[in-house]
């Protein structure tokens, strides 16, 4: 009984819940101002997220979104910010496409190699930014973000010119053949084996965070870096390793999208659903704690899927869901600050 009361009290004072509530209120006001009925709109979002075939859609969308949430959450747990998810994502996607298309090996081998290569390259790219901070003092916040532009530029160029499939009218590579694709997991839905891969990653992240030495050191660094250094942890090495893991997850997401959903690398297709930024906001909502981040990611995935349905039904632009997410984060930042007083 006491535990239940404690849980309710915890929830009642929880900054996160207040921020979400506040966000929903602001969203309702915006909807009203745009001349629509908030209750109907929110109803459409809810239905659009979980009713019937929409649920499978939400789950399918949750795979890349929760993946990108982890990309941000892993370093955030240690107090570090990775803003380069976009670049790491497209790099992984392109590498996966290239390996799946051009590696001379049987299909399944190509698939596995593509995924591993994507993770390795994206991980190394993120670690590059970390090295920039450790060696040259370039703030991680800035270096990760700036590096995403060359990554986007190069992959965009490759898809539009040398590696382009001339038969389609789009800036994209050739189609990856069946044998090297990620098979569907639940027939009749867009859910692929990517979900299984993501679940494995979630399990690995949560396990490391709760039970791993590295997880302990990272979490303590997030709480007090001076204490962690005093305790003998090499902060520089930790930074590079953590960013590598973060980038590797982004690479995995890119591979899952290219090999399980789009079957080719199309310029801009990986970035337009804004997985990176929704993921970042979900990670901020949970302040890097993995289980909370996954839940927040699921919540935002539902919001986004629901948003599509909402737009079809009410003509309210679905980008409202992104606005909602941003408002929630802003309110949370203020609430946290007030509590610290």
Partner 1 sequence: MAFLEMRGIVKRYPGVLANDRIDLSVEAGEIHAVMGENGAGKSTLMGILYGLVQPDEGGSVIDGRPRRFRSPIEAITAGLGMVHQAFKLFDSLTVWENVAYRAEPRRGPFIDRAAARRRVAELAQRHGLPVDPDARVGSLPVGVKQRIEILKALYRDARILILDEPTAVLTPGERDGLFRVMRSLAADGRTILFVTHKLHEVMAVTDRITVLRDGRVADRMITAETDPPAIIRAMTGRNVSLKVDRTPAQPGRPLLEVEGLTLNAPGKPAVDAVSFAVRAGEIVGIAGVAGNGQTELVEIVAGLRAADAGTVRVDGRDVTAAGVAGRRAAGIAYVPEDRAHTGTALRASAADNLSMGFQRRAPLSRRGVLDPAAMRERARGLIARFGIRIPGEGTAVGTLSGGNLQKVVVARELDHEAPVLIAEQPTRGVDVGAIEFIHARLVAERDKGRAVLLVSAELGEILALSDRVLVMYEGRIIADVPGHEASESGLGLLMAGVTGAAA
Partner 2 sequence: MDWLSLFNAVLFAQTIQAVTPILLAALAGVLCDRAGVFNIALEGQMLIGAFAAIAGTYYTGSVAGGVAVALAGTIAFSAILAFGATWLRGDPIVIGIGLNLLASGLTAFLLRILFGVSGTFTDPTMQDLPRIVIPRIAAMPWFNRVFGGHSVVTWAAWILVVVIAVFLFRTVWGLRLRGIGERPDAAETLGADVAGSRIAAVLAGGALCGLAGAQLSLGSVTLFAEDMSAGRGWIAVVAVMLGRGHPVGVALACLLFGFADAAGLRLQGRGLPNQLTDMAPYVITLVALVVARGRRRRGAMA
Residues at the interface with partner 2 (CB under 8 A): 30, 34, 81, 83, 132, 136-138, 141-143, 145-147, 149-150, 153-154, 156-157, 160-161, 277, 280-281, 284, 317, 319-320, 322-323, 325-327, 329-330, 332-334, 336-338, 340-341
CB nearer to partner 1: pick between 186 and 333: 333
What is the token pair recorded at 201?
A: 């990653």
Rounded CA gap, 55 and 294, in Å? Answer: 17
Task: Report the run of H or E that residue 22 belongs to, with start and end.
Answer: helix 15-33
Q: Which residues of 288-302 are buried (b: 16+ CB within 10 A; e: fewer)?
A: bbbebbbbbbbbbbb
Task: Please tell me whether residue 233 binds partner 1 under the rule CB under 8 A.
Answer: yes
Nearest distance, CB of residue 282 and partner 2, angstroms:
12
CB nearer to partner 2: pick between 178 and 315: 315
Task: Please tell me whether residue 102 binds partner 1 under the rule CB under 8 A.
Answer: no
From partner 2, partner 1, none, which one binds at residue 2 (CB under 5 to 8 Å depending on kind)?
A: none
Residues present in the chain in total: 341
Identify which of 217, 244, 212 has the alpha carbon closest to the alpha carbon of residue 232.
Answer: 217
What is the token pair recorded at 49?
A: 């997220």
Please return the burial class of 115, using the count of CB atoms within 10 Å of its CB with bins 0-12, 13-18 and 19+.
buried
- Please name the residues in contact with 10: beta carbons below 8 A apart, sequence gap of 6 or more: none
Q: Which of residues 163-222 bind partner 1 (CB under 8 A)?
A: 210-217, 219-220
Count of residues in contact with partner 1, rule CB under 8 A: 21
CB nearer to partner 1: pick between 157 and 216: 216
Task: Please tell me whether residue 229 binds partner 1 under the rule CB under 8 A.
Answer: yes
CB nearer to partner 2: pick between 83 and 96: 83
Task: Please tell me whether residue 231 binds partner 1 under the rule CB under 8 A.
Answer: yes
**Please, what is the end-to-end C-alpha distance for the chain in angstroms?**
32
CB nearer to partner 1: pick between 148 and 208: 208
DSSP, collapsed to helix, strand or coil, labels residue 249 as: helix
CB nearer to partner 1: pick between 213 and 272: 213
From partner 1, partner 2, none, which one binds at residue 170 (CB under 5 to 8 Å depending on kind)?
A: none
DSSP, collapsed to helix, strand or coil, labels residue 173 as: strand
C-alpha dihedral, 204 to 246 to 119 to 322, nearest 10°: 100
From partner 1, partner 2, none, which one binds at residue 12 (CB under 5 to 8 Å depending on kind)?
A: none
- Asked whether 112 and 101 are in contact (CB, 8 A), the reply is no
Task: Please tell me whether residue 6 binds partner 1 under the rule CB under 8 A.
Answer: no
Contact set with partner 1 (CB under 8 A): 210-217, 219-220, 223-224, 226-234
């Amino acid at each position: 009984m006491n535990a239940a009361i404690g849980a309710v009290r915890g929830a009642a004072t929880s900054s996160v819940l207040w921020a979400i509530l506040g966000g929903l209120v602001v969203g309702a006001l915006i909807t009203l101002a745009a001349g629509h009925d908030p209750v109907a709109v929110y109803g459409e979002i809810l239905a659009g997220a979980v009713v019937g075939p929409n649920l499978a859609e939400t789950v399918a969308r949750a795979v890349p979104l929760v993946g990108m949430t982890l990309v941000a959450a892993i370093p955030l747990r240690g107090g570090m910010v990775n803003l380069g998810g976009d670049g790491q994502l497209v790099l992984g996607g392109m590498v996966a496409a290239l390996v799946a298309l051009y590696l001379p090996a049987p299909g399944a081998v190509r698939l596995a190699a593509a995924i591993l290569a994507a993770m390795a390259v994206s991980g190394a790219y993120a670690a590059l930014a970390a090295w920039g901070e450790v060696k040259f003092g370039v703030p991680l916040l800035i270096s990760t973000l700036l590096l995403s532009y060359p990554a986007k530029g190069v992959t965009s160029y490759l898809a539009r010119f040398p590696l382009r499939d001339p038969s389609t009218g789009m800036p994209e590579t050739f189609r990856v053949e069946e044998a090297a694709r990620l098979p569907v997991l639940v027939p009749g839905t867009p859910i692929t084996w990517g979900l299984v891969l993501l679940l494995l990653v979630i399990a690995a992240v949560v396990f490391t965070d709760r039970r791993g030495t590295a997880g302990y050191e990272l979490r303590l660094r997030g709480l007090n870096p001076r204490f962690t250094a005093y305790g003998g942890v090499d902060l520089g090495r930790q930074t590079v390793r953590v960013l590598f893991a973060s980038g590797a997850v982004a690479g995995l997401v890119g591979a899952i999208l290219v090999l399980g959903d789009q079957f080719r690398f199309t310029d801009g297709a990986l970035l337009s659903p804004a997985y990176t930024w929704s993921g970042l906001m979900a990670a901020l909502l949970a302040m890097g704690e993995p289980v909370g981040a996954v839940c927040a990611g699921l919540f935002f995935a539902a919001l986004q899927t629901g948003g599509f349905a909402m737009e079809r039904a009410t003509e309210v632009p679905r980008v409202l869901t992104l606005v909602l997410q941003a408002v929630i984060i802003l309110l949370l930042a203020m609430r946290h600050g007030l509590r610290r007083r």
